[in-house]
Structure 1
Amino acid sequence: MASFEKRGTTWRYVFYATVDGKRKKIQKGSFKTKAEARKHASELEAYYNRGFSLDNTVVFHEYFYNWITVNKENKVSHKQFMKYEKMHEYLKAAFPYDLLKDITKPTYQKFLNEYAATHSTDSVRKLNAAVRNVMDDAIHDGLILKNPTYKAVTVGGKESKAANLKYLEYEQYKALKLYLEGMDTLPAHFLLLTLVTGARFSEIQQLKVSDFNFLHNKLHLPGTKTDTSDRTISVDRSTMQRMKHFIDNRPTHITGHVFSHYGTLVSNNTINGTLAAACKELKAISESKVEASGELKKYIDDLKKENKPFKFDKVVTCHALRHTHCSVLIAEGISIHYISKRLGHKNIGVTMSVYSHLLEQSFEKEEEKAIKFLESI
């Protein structure tokens, strides 16, 4: 049972606990009121009674770094792991010597507010999600009692990159697909498969011949981000036949990887370089600086007949094709539950969060349809 005493204008508590087989004095002062000291002592005693360590000296940022090393390194892409390392740098700067057990909800929220001032809401949410997972494991390890990220406010103060720059519109999607289908290179097939599956770069990169089920037009995607991302999805017959032709007419390395050069997996730079070149070519075509050919020319001519000028004004990355795939499915009214599973998200909440702006646009269209239906009754 804790005892309390006033020292000057502040209060402190004292109680004794057995730590590593020895009786140890646990005390802390500088509380403004006795009630505040009593509240903290009660929490600490409850902490002790539940078997948690009162004597741990684990530094917060060090625990975070050890966690990402064990749980993320070699399990996510190098680029993604670098983002976790960047998070660690921010945490180390803000909490250089703070112990894990001393991180409170107010001190953590104060840090989050300062971080949010110069970052977008998306960045703040990702950082908070990582810290939340780390703290959950710390609770499991008996190092802390409460998770300081509980109900953390994660609103950023910086505008995110405009949503329409992160994915292609339907006409642009269709044009890029036709453009890629007119090429017979490894990067073109990589990009085409990304466009029609919405898979992550690393998932396409890791594909092996055995992942393709050409009989049933199914593709096994090796999950590379979460435990739930390993999945099998359906792919349109035309794309699967193109992939079969590509695989059958190209020597397969002993590893079985489809997108590799003599055993070395194709790099993100190579894929994004090809995509950037394709976007610039399509932009030139849309500005009538270059003449389109084949199916692409026919598609653009059909658009003109419908008084729909072809416009391609974006240079996007491979990851934007994942967002594009999702946006096209949402626009077509495909169930968000299906989309979530197809994209390999941990749960539908992730999908709702990432694509909230697209879902809002879909909601507006569905609302018009609903009102029109109700008025017709």
Structure 2
Amino acid sequence: MEQSPKLHEYFAEWMQLYKRDAVQPITYQKYEMTHRQLCRLAPDIRMSQMSRLTYQKILNEYAKTHERQTVMDFHRHVRSALMDALEERIIERDPTRKAVLKGIKHRKHKTKFLHQHEVQSLLNVLTLNEGVNWDYFILLISKTGLRFAEALGVTPEDFDFARQNLKIDKTWNYKAEKSGFAPTKNHASVRNVQLDWQTVIQFSQLTKGMPPHQPIFVQNTKVYNDTVNHYLERLCRRAEIPVISVHGLRHTHASLLLYSGVSIASVAHRLGHSNMNTTQQTYLHIIQELENQDNDKVMKHLASLV
């Protein structure tokens, strides 16, 4: 009788069959990371041995060195494969049923977003009169909420200064061995982002005479996310504000818009989220805070009706 495949073997075949070329390369890399973890955690476990107990042991072992959110992502990947295996009758029962997700306590993270006066302090220390530099990159993300790869992929021709908007229809695949333009994260990420007049003036001067089709911030060298984050850290310390990551600037942009009364739908479109649920989940704490403020307004209004 033929032996059932090993868990990591089935997962590898499953992700190549269903996920390769169906998801963005960066997303597929996460599936590959899950596969490597399965090889480490369960090198010899076969699909026929998959029970709730066996699966929980794998989750518990993974949770010893990862935060709960990361454990949830790992579980989601493996469970998707196992549900297909169940449908194909490779396994008889769902081993993931009632799985308990654990994880180590949150490590100390960088500040997720800045307050408005802190953003202003950061912008005040930027050097914007010496040609292309990371200061302009930081300015662009602060003013638009672009993703890191989207900002890297911006070219001079993407700006429509007359209409005060920026077209986002590509990214820069900085993680690949051979960098180059790549598609956006999803269809919703293709969008036009409105610009304020100050940003229009700053980038119209910066891009004057630059090759229209070449990325503004990629200057014949490999770009690393850590390099820009370390540079931003030095700027934050100089501005005497909490240290934040480049991705944190995207969160900051969205947070400030929500606090200023911009609708969730508009923020979702500006960020390039595929649906409003993503925006709501990411900024739930802010939305709840704003709802509490609205409730106070409602009560004051009703109390005035006497």
What secondary structure is seen at the aligned counterpart in 2 of 1:232?
strand
Number of paired residues?
288
Please list the CA deviations of residues 258-316 of structure 1 after superposition, one character each: whole Å capped at 9, or x if unmatched: 21113x46432332233122112101xxxxxxxxxxxxxxxxxxxxxxxxxxxx2x222
The 3 A distance-change label for structure 1 pair 247 and 350 is same
Tell me, in whole angstroms, the C-alpha distance in 1 between the residues paired with 2:187 and 2:3.
31
Structure with higher RCO (Cα < 8 A, 6+ apart): 2
Which of the pair is proportionally richer in strand? 1
TM-score normalised by structure 2 residue count? 0.76
Identity, % of aligned positions: 31
Please list the CA deviations of residues 297-343 of structure 1 after superposition, one character each: whole Å capped at 9, or x if unmatched: xxxxxxxxxxxxxxx2x222211111111221221232222222322
Shift of 1:187: 0.9
TM-score normalised by structure 1 residue count? 0.63
Tell me, in whole angstroms, the C-alpha distance in 1 between the residues paired with 2:157 and 2:297.
44
Matched, 1:177 2:136: no
Tell me, in whole angstroms, the C-alpha distance in 1 between the residues paired with 2:90 and 2:129.
56
User: Quick one: which amino acid aligns to residue 175 of structure 1?
Assistant: S
Please list the CA deviations of residues 190-247 of structure 1 after superposition, one character each: whole Å capped at 9, or x if unmatched: 1111112212111111222332222222222225434543333222232133122111
How does 1:37-186 map onto structure 2 within 5 Å?
57-65=4-12, 67=15, 70-71=20-21, 75-76=25-26, 81=29, 85-100=32-47, 103-104=50-51, 107-116=54-63, 118-135=65-82, 153-154=100-101, 156-159=103-106, 161=108, 165-180=111-126, 182=128, 184=130, 185-186=132-133
Tell me, in whole angstroms, the C-alpha distance in 1 between the residues paired with 2:48 and 2:164.
52
Shift of 1:172: 0.7
2:216 to 244, 251, 258: 258
Unaligned runs of 5+ residues in structure 2 are 171-182
1:337 to 258, 265, 278: 265
Q: Tell me which residue corresponds to 1:229.
A: 189
Tell me, in whole angstroms, the C-alpha distance in 1 between the residues paired with 2:269 and 2:51.
36
Alignment check: 8 A CA contact 2:141 2:147 kept = yes
Give the alignment's Cα RMSD to 1 decimal: 3.6
Alignment check: 8 A CA contact 2:128 2:136 kept = no
Tell me, in whole angstroms, the C-alpha distance in 1 between the residues paired with 2:81 and 2:195.
37
Shift of 1:71: 4.9
Q: Tell me which residue corresponds to 1:304.
A: none
Q: Tell me which residue corresponds to 1:370.
A: 298
Please list the CA deviations of residues 47-99 of structure 1 after superposition, one character each: whole Å capped at 9, or x if unmatched: xxxxxxxx79443324445627835997229xx94x65543333223322334
Tell me, in whole angstroms, the C-alpha distance in 1 between the residues paired with 2:9 and 2:158.
39
Unaligned runs of 5+ residues in structure 1 are 1-24, 26-54, 284-311
Q: Which has more radius of gyration?
A: 1
Alignment check: 8 A CA contact 1:213 1:219 kept = yes
1:315 to 243, 247, 253: 243
